[in-house]
Amino acid sequence: MSVIKKVNDYVENIIESSVVELFSDRFARYSKYIIQERALPDARDGLKPVQRRILYAMQQLGMFHNKPYKKSARIAGEVMGKYHPHGDSSIYEAMVRLSQDFKMRALLIDMHGNNGSIDGDSAAAMRYTEARLSKAAEALLADIEKRTVPFVPNFDDEELEPTVLPAKFPNLLVNGATGISAGYATKIPPHNFTEVVDATIAYLDNDQITFKEITKYIKGPDFPTGGIVQGKEGILQALETGAGKVMIRAKADIEEISKSQDCIVITEIPYEVNKADLVKAIDVLRIDKKIDDILEVRDESDQQGLRIAIDLKKGADAQLMLNLLYKSTDLQVSYNYNMVAILNHRPVLVGVLPILKAYVDHQKDVITNRSNYELEKAQKRQHIVDGLIKMVSILDGVIKAIRDSQNKQNAKESIMELFGFTDMQAEAIVTLQLYRLSNTDILALEQESDSLGDKIKELDHILSSEHALRRVIKRELIDISKVLGDPRRTQIEEEIETIKIDEKDLISDEKVMIGITKDGYVKRASSRSYQATLSAGLKQDDVLIFEKEVNTLDTLLLFTNLGNYIFLPVYKIDEQKWKDLGVYINNITPIAHDERLIDVLLVNSFKDNDYVLLATKQGMMKQSKLSDFEVTRYYKPMKCMKLSGYDELVSIDYGQKDDIISISKNGYVLRYKTDDLPLYGLQAGGVKGMNIGSQDELVSSLYVRDRDDFIMLTSRGHVIKDIVEELPVYSRNRRGILVIEHLKSNPHECVDAARLSKAQQKENVEVLIVTKNYALKTTVSELKYSGNKFGKKMYDDAELGNGYMIKIEDALEDVDLPKKEKKVINKPKDTIKVVDLLKEEEIMTKDHKKIHLNRFDLFDDNDE
């Protein structure tokens, strides 16, 4: 408090104010300043204050388009010292932009030297470059000396500067504007000079013109860099309201290098896109292999114009590559109109009609002010000329009166008193040079008087007639359009083309090796890496359950025990070496901690009108369309079957056939017609396909033909071969018949099964037998056995672990081979009819007891 008291003793006037009020007041004033005096253009001349001050200062220095260049540093210094109280760098940057032919549609400054480039290179320092006004800038400044626009004192009250330029053309629409201020921003594209002038003339002819009629003249933006603008609707909306969106697309041609190789050539790029960054972005796509078909990117731009050459690989689809580049790079960008300008000292979002009205109203003021100035000047001159003509008729008396005078003032008073001249006429007479007194000069004076009379009449007519005033504006617009107008550079297209690219179209068609392990590791390797590697890289105790050469355009469906599947396009798998472990599935798609892979399905096309068979451990089954498995977003596992309780998905099969067989762990097999199993969607849980006992579980369900065999893998490493045709056909939801005899100790439990067709046997295809920690590769011929009801022992389960999976490779031509005719053997009447007997799962004995039938009840023990 003592410090405050001491301060109060020395301060006479203390103004108390809250911080909120102070900040609010100061920021409001600051915002008003940067809105009106810095960042936003005036609707009348289309210039920001710094641009206006630069042009006016150059005009005052006499730096016209036909005069020598002067140093940019001198101009910046002149502007900074007299008109613009800011740093020279901001002034020079504004100068540079006004001189860049890739930013301005009508250049306002003609700069000599390095003024930057479309590659984003900055201009040379102002001490190196030189500049002068362009013809367009002179048109903006024309008649400024004729009191056409208001002037105000500069920042130190030592100079006067214009608040707006006369502007002989609508610069705001021709050159556009960009800027950001407090709470406001502006983004107005440049337009074609001739079109804007034609629209202005149409407005002059009819100030009640409709927006629809104006759009007949202004087609849309016309960028200095050319390009293609798409979206007529967005253009119309922007021209009407001031806000709208269009797409700007580079102009490209496809040139043929050879019969099978093309080159994309870019000759025009979107407005305000950095060419060097664009070329780099395209090359990065090539380096990162996001677009494999790009061979090389070259910037071939020179004095002849812009040119970016993109060489494609042989056989590449050039149009597809171009569309991809449009979608992935700045070869196509959006442009959002935000036509904010200062109108009546306020920032306003305006369409084209209010801008034209503001410009025409401004031109009326300019022409009116100029006409008043010229009228006053003409009237003064005519008054003087009339006095000179009068003087010639009394020349001798005038000369005598002047000679008799003591000085100039006395001479003026004498001739005014003697001959009735006005002060202005007398001043002209006494300052007249003697050679003007010749006889021929009187003729010139009389001609000048007549000319001045005509001019005064014309100016009076302009000032008194609105129609005449509009005619003058129109004539001057036509004249300036002939000098500065040029053809349109930007092409306008009606609709915005929606680019839809199937990612598969970008993938080169090639063969690769895919390996998927039991523990969920996925790897993709080139055929060369596969052939050069003796053994695949695997984690300890892990084995491959899928190892196949596939196409990069194929898709893998990885099914899990929790009723999910993972949609995995081959091209999405990162390429590695075959000796690498691969990528864990959880790093590709997150799965639950207790989720594991059970099978893999390779799909070439989802357009195949085929079905997938799904079965759970508790015997729930269904068929689903293969096409239902195709998805576009695959960032997580997809549901393929609804499970209940502790049930798990254990089996999938593909390729619908007439029959289905289901095999349980305890060796029961049920065969029924495929038509009995309903078709469900992926979210459904299915129906009971096989009746599973309390101590049993389903291990596999297969599509089969009646002439097929099927192979069962047991937990003890045996393979048991059986015949589909010998299985009775039941309805679904039955237990089936027993095909693997039960043993009290160390029983053979079925762990998996596979269909074996005649074609597979004929081609002797490869067989993969997987244990808990080992994979055994063999062929179909090695599965043959005789005389053992428990099949053939394929490996020592004590060393390699329990059985896990059996897979038989598909035949090249998997067709049902014709049946061979069997010899008919006459059997005794008391021979048991096996097939008829097996039609019943349970039979009644003589003592009226029900027993469950199995195949082994039909044979004696010595026939095992």
Catalytic residues: 128
Closest CA to 716 of 757, 665, 660: 665
Residues 6+ apart with CB under 8 A from 288: none
The radius of gyration computed from the CA coordinates of the chain, to the nearest angstrom, equals 47
Contact (Cβ atoms closer than 8 angstroms) between residue 489 and residue 219: no
568 membership: H or E segment, kind and range: strand 564-569
d(CA 834, CA 726): 9
Sign of dihedral through CA atoms 580, 582, 583, 585?
negative
d(CA 521, CA 515): 8
Contact (Cβ atoms closer than 8 angstroms) between residue 188 and residue 341: yes
- 644 forms bridges with which residues in the sheet? none
Q: How far is CA 768 from CA 152, 519, 656, 711, 780, in A?
A: 94, 17, 22, 12, 10
Closest CA to 298 of 324, 332, 263: 263
The CA-based diameter of the chain, rounded to the nearest angstrom, is 173
- DSSP secondary structure string for all residues of 733-760: SB--EE-S---SSS---EEEEEEE-HHH
Q: How far is CA 419 from CA 385, 404, 410, in A?
A: 15, 15, 14
Closest CA to 327 of 504, 496, 499, 507: 499
CB atoms within 10 A of CB 472: 18
What SS3 class is residue 574?
Answer: coil
CB atoms within 10 A of CB 324: 22
Q: Pairing state of beta strands 638-639 and 564-569?
A: antiparallel
Question: For 623-627, which contacts have Cβ atoms below 8 Å and span 24 or more sequence positions?
Answer: 623/656, 623/674, 623/677, 623/678, 623/679, 623/680, 624/679, 624/680, 624/681, 624/682, 625/679, 626/654
- DSSP secondary structure string for all residues of 10-58: H-S------HHHHHHHHHHHHHHHHIIIIIS-BTTT---HHHHHHHHHH
- 793 forms bridges with which residues in the sheet? 718
Contact (Cβ atoms closer than 8 angstroms) between residue 188 and residue 339: yes
Residues 6+ apart with CB under 8 A from 662: 615, 619, 621, 669, 670, 689, 690, 698, 700, 701, 702, 736
d(CA 846, CA 154): 126
302 CA to centre of own chain: 28
Contact (Cβ atoms closer than 8 angstroms) between residue 98 and residue 86: no
- 151 forms bridges with which residues in the sheet? 162
